[in-house]
């Protein structure tokens, strides 16, 4: 009897471990951000490689990494023209990484988008075309013809690592006449402001000046865990996409409509239209209660601010009130509640705190400002 019981316990433990995997829930690892009003927040990484170009893993490993990170969508964008493993792995069909990844993700809550990296010298450099029907048709000599074919297939196209020091020695993203022409002809729709472990203020400015979608990707070739030190709490760069629903078509529509915020190295980069609602949903002012001492009630109020996201927020106070326990800089750790004490001078029923969000960027050297409203709770 006892043996049967412990066997059942063991089976139960195995089943619960499997259930945890099926739900894509990896505590401490899954990247989480709240939805914003009217949209679901899709966590995406739309630039990565496998052994089918110059990467070092099979496509199914990309799927498993993404499931562990709790991503909603990925695109494996193997180089079309650059095929260094071709002697070992013949690669006649450039849609293979998509097909293999789609099969291995068939029971996972992960959307797989067919994509590829158009890999040319500068200009135009490298660009990702995603939502392709047939990658093979982009395997043509003339680079502009590849962009034309991508457009014909309805692809969303973004310029990759425009700050790559191998192509621009100074690491400064700049547009060539060819890029301007491709943007004008609606053949480039987005630009990577973040690629792997690089961030480009200049690329962000180009995105704003030319009305392009702000993108951030891992461009991973090896392993996500090693590149971003995930076991020590690191995370890959991702693009948060605000879609009407979790589907390929909604994701595509949202990318064309520029509804993105990039999460990279604990920074949030995006247009104010989406960054502000996101921060608003991440930060939740909770309790506010005036302190009482042996001498009676004070005008020092204890507040709690909840951070419901995986980003650590660094805020700089812009309020008229001073804090009783910290200076002007406030740090809100991910998925936690922070306690602060504020000197409001008068005892108030409600008050606002204003902050500049130093870890959020809407334009080069520009941080958004937020206001948190606290309602005082009485005894
Ligand atoms: Zn590239
Ligand atoms: Zn790449």
pLDDT tens readout for residues 177-225? 999 999 999 999 999 999 999 999 999 999 999 999 999 999 999 999 9
Ligand 1 mean position to 219 CA, how many Å? 8
Tell me how far the alpha carbon of residue 1 lies from the centroid of ligand 2, in angstroms. 58
d(CA 277, CA 370): 10
What whole-number percentage of the chain has pLDDT above 70?
A: 93
pLDDT band, residue 28 (cuts 50/70/90): confident
Report the helix count and the strand count for the chain, using DSSP H and E: 9, 20
Q: Strand runs (DSSP E) across 25-147, as ranges? A: 40-45, 73-76, 111-119, 126-130
Residue 125 half-sphere exposure toward CB, CA atoms < 13 A: 24
Per-residue pLDDT of 63-91, as tens digits, reads 999 999 999 999 999 999 999 999 999 99
Cα(129) to centroid(ligand 1), Å? 12
CATH for 24-270 (3.10.105.10, 2.40.30.170, 1.20.120.10, 3.20.20.140): 3.20.20.140
Ligand nearest to the CA of 160: 1
CA dihedral for 33, 39, 40, 45, sign (positive or negative): negative
Confidence of residue 282 (pLDDT cuts 50, 70, 90): very high
Q: How far is the CA of 296 from the centre of ligand 2 (A)?
A: 64
Residue 358 backbone phi and psi in degrees, to 5:
-70, -25
β-partners of residue 45 are: 74
Ligand showing the shortest atom-to-Cα distance for residue 161: 1
Tell me, yes or no, if the two domains 24-270 and 280-375 fold the same way: no
Tokens of 17: 């471990």
pLDDT grade, residue 16 (50/70/90)? very low
* Residues with C-beta atoms within 5 A of ion ligand 2: 117, 219
Q: Is 1's pLDDT higher than 50? A: no
pLDDT above 80: residue 5: no
Q: How far apart are CA 299 and CA 2, in angstroms?
A: 62
Select from 3.20.20.60, 1.25.10.10, 2.60.40.10, 3.10.20.310 the CATH code of 280-375. Answer: 2.60.40.10
Residue 175 C-alpha to ligand 2 middle, in angstroms?
Answer: 19
CA of 366 to the centre of ligand 1 (A): 28
Ligand with the closest atom to the CA of 124: 1
Q: How far apart are CA 293 and CA 263, in angstroms?
A: 43
217 alpha carbon, closest ligand: 2
For 216-271, what is each residue's pLDDT tens digit? 999 999 999 999 999 999 999 999 999 999 999 999 999 999 999 999 999 999 99
Percent of the chain at pLDDT exceeding 90: 91
What is d(CA 3, CA 261) in angstroms, rounded to the nearest whole number?
A: 54
Ligand 1 center from residue 217 Cα (angstroms)? 11
Question: Does the pLDDT value for residue 15 go beyond 60?
Answer: no
pTM to 2 decimal places = 0.92
* Closest ligand, as measured to the CA of 77: 2
Distance CA 277, CA 293 (A): 38
* Mean pLDDT, all residues of the chain: 93
Domain ranges of the chain: 24-270, 280-375
**CA 126–ligand 1 middle distance (angstroms):** 5
């Amino acid at each position: 009897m006892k043996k049967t019981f412990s066997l059942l316990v063991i089976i139960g433990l195995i089943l619960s471990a499997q259930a945890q995997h099926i739900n894509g829930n990896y505590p401490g690892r899954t990247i989480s951000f709240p939805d914003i009003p009217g949209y679901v927040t899709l966590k995406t990484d739309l630039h990565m490689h496998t052994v089918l170009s110059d990467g070092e893993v099979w496509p199914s490993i990309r799927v498993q990494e993404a499931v562990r990170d709790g991503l909603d969508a990925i695109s494996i964008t193997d180089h079309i023209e650059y095929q260094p493993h071709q002697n070992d792995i013949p690669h006649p069909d450039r849609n293979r990484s998509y097909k293999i990844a789609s099969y291995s993700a068939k029971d996972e809550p992960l959307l797989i988008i067919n994509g590829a990296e158009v890999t040319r010298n500068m200009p135009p450099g490298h660009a990702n075309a995603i939502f392709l029907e047939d990658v093979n048709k982009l395997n043509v000599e003339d680079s502009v013809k590849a962009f034309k074919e991508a457009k014909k297939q309805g692809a969303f196209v973004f310029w990759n690592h425009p700050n790559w020091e191998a192509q621009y020695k100074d690491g400064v993203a700049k547009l060539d006449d060819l890029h301007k022409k491709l943007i004008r002809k609606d053949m480039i729709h987005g630009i990577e402001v973040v690629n792997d472990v690089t961030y480009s203020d200049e690329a962000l400015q180009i995105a704003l000046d030319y009305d392009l979608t702000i993108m951030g990707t891992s461009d991973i070739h090896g392993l996500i865990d090693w590149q971003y030190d995930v076991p020590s709490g690191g995370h890959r760069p991702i693009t948060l996409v605000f879609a009407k629903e979790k589907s390929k078509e909604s994701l595509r529509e949202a990318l064309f409509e520029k509804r993105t915020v990039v999460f990279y190295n604990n920074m949030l980069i995006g247009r104010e239209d989406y960054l502000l609602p996101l921060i608003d949903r991440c930060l939740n002012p909770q309790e506010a209660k005036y302190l009482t001492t042996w001498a009676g009630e004070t005008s020092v109020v204890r507040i709690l601010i909840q951070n419901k996201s995986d980003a650590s927020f660094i805020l700089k106070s812009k309020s008229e009130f001073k804090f009783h326990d910290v200076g002007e800089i406030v740090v809100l750790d991910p998925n936690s509640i922070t306690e602060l004490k504020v000197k409001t001078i008068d005892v108030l029923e409600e008050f606002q705190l204003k902050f500049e969000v130093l870890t959020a960027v809407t334009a080069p050297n520009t941080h958004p400002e937020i206001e948190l409203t606290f309602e005082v709770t009485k005894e």
